[in-house]
Amino acid sequence: MLWVYLSALILGAGMLALQAIMGHDADGDVDADHDADHDASLLFSSRFWIFLALAFGLAGTLLTLFHLASVAVVLGLSTFSGLASGLFAAWVLRALKQGQVSSSASVDEAVGRVAEVLVPCEKGKVGKVRLSLRGQTVDLLAMGGEHPLNVGTKVVVEEIEGGIARVTRAPDEITG
């Protein structure tokens, strides 16, 4: 059985090295066609098979070489290690691939933030405010309430509707 474990280890390590050298994902667009919630698609991932072969081969080789268990126990532990490792690796890499990190700010994040009036605004008259979101300076069209809001006034964005922020004068406690 040692040759089976060594073959799996060499095959898995070789495939992983080949992917690293080529610098791309061997699954290509195949995984993109699968439904993200469909767990069975993990079994069709090359990642699953590569990590299954690596863990199966490594566990079986080490347990056999060091005579740590009987042949049946080694086979069981190697199989479990391979399946668990393959599923975990495919699941983690798929989650990382699907996760979208964005440094751009969404206008909806402006709600509740303090802004500064750039162009005067009041009820029925659209002006403009500026605020900082995620380290970016964002200018929004804004409409005030009953009292006019002059240039430089600190305001709080209460809501955004139709691309226009509804703002009110910020309390002195906030603007300090």
Domain with residue 121: its CATH number is 2.40.50.140
Mean pLDDT calculated for residue range 79-107: 80
What pLDDT digit, counting tens, does each position of 121-171 carry? 988 899 999 999 888 889 999 999 888 999 999 999 999 998 899 999 999
* 68 and 154 assigned to the same domain: no
Final residue of a domain: which of 64, 98, 132?
98
- Short-list 142, 102, 89, CA closest to 120: 142
Is residue 51 predicted with pLDDT exceeding 90?
Answer: yes
Give 102's pLDDT tier (boundaries 50, 70, 90). Answer: low
Task: Identify the weakest region by mean pLDDT among 20-24, 52-56, 76-80.
Answer: 20-24
* 90 and 49 assigned to the same domain: yes
- The answer to whether 74 touches 60, Cβ cutoff 8 Å, is yes
* 131 and 162 assigned to the same domain: yes
Is the Cα dihedral 145, 151, 154, 158 positive or negative? Answer: positive
CA geometry: angle 17, 23, 26, nearest 5 deg? 75
Final residue of a domain: which of 75, 98, 121?
98
pTM of the model: 0.51
Is residue 112 predicted with pLDDT exceeding 70?
Answer: yes
For all residues of the chain together, what is the average pLDDT?
85
Most confident segment among 39-43, 45-49, 140-144: 140-144
The structural domain count of the chain equals 2
Residue 47 in tokens: 């990642």
- Short-list 119, 118, 113, 124, CA closest to 157: 113
Task: Report how far residue 115's alpha carbon sits from residue 151's, in angstroms, rounded to the nearest whole number.
Answer: 11
